[in-house]
């Protein structure tokens, strides 16, 4: 038990240091995205694998339409956005609630959404939650975060020429929407061959 606790604390400290380093690079402008064409399902799948432990008490639903076009992004950075959003959803929503990941295309804009059935965001915090070290709602599990995850998401969105917003859903819970511009010349990929 003591060994497990030590391993968990070491993992959290490593995650905190990674977040601080990532934020420093993004702030300094030295982490220019290495954009390439990616299959969105693969990025989401990798992020789900990385957050499997945090999400084990939640029902996770993924709704990416069949034939969703390739996305022109830095795959590792976009994966980090999904990891941060899913960790937050798991941290701030009760067990057994649903976390939904979905995607839509609106012209040349890809909208990537992570929504939950939790208590939602405190009124007036929708913009502040993207500030460094800000935490909107203290929870028993919130002490585990650094307050950098959403600031990193915003910096990654900005580095891609996009934006991320948050709001409360009418049906309850919070929704985070990442909007990224996509080039018009999307290559076709036949996944059935």
SS3 string, the chain, reads CHHHHHHHHHHHHHHHHHHHHHHHHHHHCCCCCCCEEECHHHHHHHHHHHCHHHHCCCEEEEECCCCCCCEEECHHHHHHHHHHHHHHHHHHCCCCCEEEEEEEEECCEEEEEEEECCCCCCCCCCCHHHCCCCCCCCCCCHHHCCCCHHHHHHHHHHHCCCEEEEEECCCCCEEEEEEEECCCCCCCCCCCC
The predicted-structure confidence for 156-186, as pLDDT tens digits, reads as follows 999 999 999 999 999 899 999 999 999 887 7
Is residue 50 classed exposed, middle or buried when 0-12, 13-18 and 19+ CB atoms within 10 A define those classes?
middle
Percentage of the chain modeled with pLDDT above 70: 74
What pLDDT, on the 0 to 100 scale, is given for residue 35?
92
Mean pLDDT, residues 109-115? 96
Q: Is the pLDDT of residue 83 over 80?
A: yes
What pLDDT, on the 0 to 100 scale, is given for residue 140?
44
CB-CB contact of 148 with 81 (8 Å): no
What confidence category does residue 127 fall into, taking pLDDT thresholds of 50, 70 and 90? Answer: confident
């Amino acid at each position: 038990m003591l060994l497990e606790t030590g391993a968990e604390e070491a993992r959290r400290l490593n995650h905190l240091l990674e977040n601080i380093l990532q934020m420093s690079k993004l702030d300094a402008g030295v982490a220019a995205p290495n954009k390439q064409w990616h299959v969105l399902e693969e990025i989401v799948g990798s992020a789900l694998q990385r957050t499997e432990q945090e999400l084990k008490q939640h029902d996770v639903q993924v709704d990416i339409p069949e034939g969703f076009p390739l996305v022109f992004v830095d795959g590792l950075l976009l994966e980090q956005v999904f990891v941060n959003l899913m960790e937050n959803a798991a941290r701030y929503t009760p067990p057994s609630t649903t976390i939904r990941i979905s995607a839509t295309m609106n012209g040349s804009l890809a909208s990537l959404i992570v929504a939950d059935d939790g208590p939602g965001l405190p009124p007036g915090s929708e913009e502040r939650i993207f500030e460094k070290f800000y935490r909107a709602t203290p929870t028993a599990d919130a002490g585990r975060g650094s307050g950098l995850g959403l600031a990193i998401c915003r910096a990654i969105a900005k580095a891609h020429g996009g934006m991320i917003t948050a709001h409360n859903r009418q049906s309850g819970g919070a929704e985070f929407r990442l909007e990224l511009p996509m080039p018009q010349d999307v290559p076709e990929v036949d996944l059935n061959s």
